[in-house]
């Protein structure tokens, strides 16, 4: 069985402080069976210079032009990809270790359409949390079960389910939901594949409310859930959003004394 060639797609805008870390995590891989595609949204800082400095001539691709948002840029990268397997690695995120691509390649049997794993979250306050992926086959009807940065998909399948720009927040969820609903075969690697640097409250309450509404649309139109079931899931998420906002407002000493199961709801 041949080893798949990867297309690692990084969408970026004004990220001069973090892009180098992303590039170096690729350079440290034990395999060179990949191309790096950088889709820059016409950055005003040194982002483009950094991307060109780390790109390998004749293999990698760097484009810079205005876009209609992150999902539009991700679709551009997908159309440029030449690899058999694609991954979307955000600017500032890194592959978890030097063997990630090798391990993912080994998991891609002929009967596997996508491979996913866990994610390490680096929080702004210095804490590190491992987000264990849920099985998409059993959890796709509830929420986005994995971090999209820890998902590697056959390019042919991803092209069948590109990112729908009508979803401003949940287009990655919509794409995965469409794949799973169509019968995609996924394999799980029980290890972190990606390190994701995040701010816990990066999405505002209004943004989270929109996310809940987009999830509802995905449940109804893509997953074809009955109205009553989709509505119950939507209302539960609205309650969770309210609860998370309360948790985020707690002083750190109080928050840290809460049970781990509750604290994880913030992430």
Q: Lowest mean pLDDT: which of 36-40, 121-125, 179-183, 232-236?
A: 121-125
Q: For residue range 47-61, what is the model confidence (pLDDT) as tens digits?
A: 999 999 999 999 999
Cα separation, 102 vs 118, whole angstroms: 16
Q: Any residues with CB less than 8 A from the CB of 211 and at least 6 apart, and which?
A: 169, 170, 203
Per-chain mean pLDDT for the chain: 92
Total-model pTM: 0.89
pLDDT at residue 157 greater than cutoff 70: yes
Angle, nearest 10°, between helix axes 47-54 and 19-27?
10
Which residues of the chain form beta strands (DSSP E)? 6-12, 34-40, 61-64, 85-88, 94-95, 114-123, 128-131, 151-154, 186-198
Residue-level pLDDT at 263: 64
Q: Which domains does the chain have, with CATH numbers?
A: 6-198 (3.90.550.10), 205-266 (no CATH)
Angle at 104 between CA 99 and CA 106, to 5 degrees: 95
Cα separation, 113 vs 229, whole angstroms: 29
- CA dihedral angle for residue 13, residue 89, residue 219, residue 263, rounded to 10 degrees: -90
pLDDT at residue 226 greater than cutoff 90: yes
45 near 114, Cβ under 8 Å?
Answer: no
Residue-level pLDDT at 159: 98
197 near 169, Cβ under 8 Å?
Answer: no
How is residue 241 written in tokens?
A: 């959003």
Percent of the chain with pLDDT over 70: 93
- DSSP one-letter code for 113: S
Q: For residue range 92-107, what is the model confidence (pLDDT) as tens digits?
A: 999 999 999 999 999 9
150 near 89, Cβ under 8 Å?
Answer: no
Residue 265 confidence class, pLDDT cut points 50, 70, 90: low
């Amino acid at each position: 069985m041949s080893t798949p060639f990867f297309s690692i797609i990084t969408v970026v805008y004004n990220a001069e402080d973090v892009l180098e870390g992303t590039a170096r995590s690729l350079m440290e891989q034990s395999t060179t069976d990949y191309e790096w595609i950088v889709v820059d949204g016409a950055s005003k800082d040194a982002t483009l210079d950094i991307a060109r400095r780390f790109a390998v001539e004749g293999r990698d691709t760097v484009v810079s032009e205005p876009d209609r948002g992150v999902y539009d840029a991700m679709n551009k990268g997908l159309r440029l990809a030449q690899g058999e397997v694609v991954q979307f690695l955000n600017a500032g995120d890194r592959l978890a270790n030097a063997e990630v691509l090798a391990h993912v390649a080994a998991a891609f049997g002929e009967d596997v359409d996508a491979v996913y794993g866990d994610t390490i979250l680096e929080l702004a306050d210095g804490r590190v949390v491992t987000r264990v992926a849920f099985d998409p086959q059993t959890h796709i009807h509830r929420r986005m079960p994995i971090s999209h940065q820890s998902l590697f998909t056959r390019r042919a399948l991803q092209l069948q389910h590109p990112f729908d720009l009508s979803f401003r927040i949940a287009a990655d969820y919509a794409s995965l939901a469409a794949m799973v609903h169509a019968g995609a075969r996924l394999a799980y690697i029980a290890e972190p594949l990606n390190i994701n640097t995040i701010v816990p409250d990066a999405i505002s309450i209004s943004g989270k409310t929109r996310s809940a509404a987009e999830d509802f649309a995905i449940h109804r139109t893509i997953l074809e859930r009955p109205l009553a079931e989709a509505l119950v899931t939507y209302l539960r998420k609205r309650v969770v959003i309210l609860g998370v906002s309360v948790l985020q407002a707690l002083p750190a000493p109080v928050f840290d004394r809460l049970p781990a199961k509750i604290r994880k709801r913030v992430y």
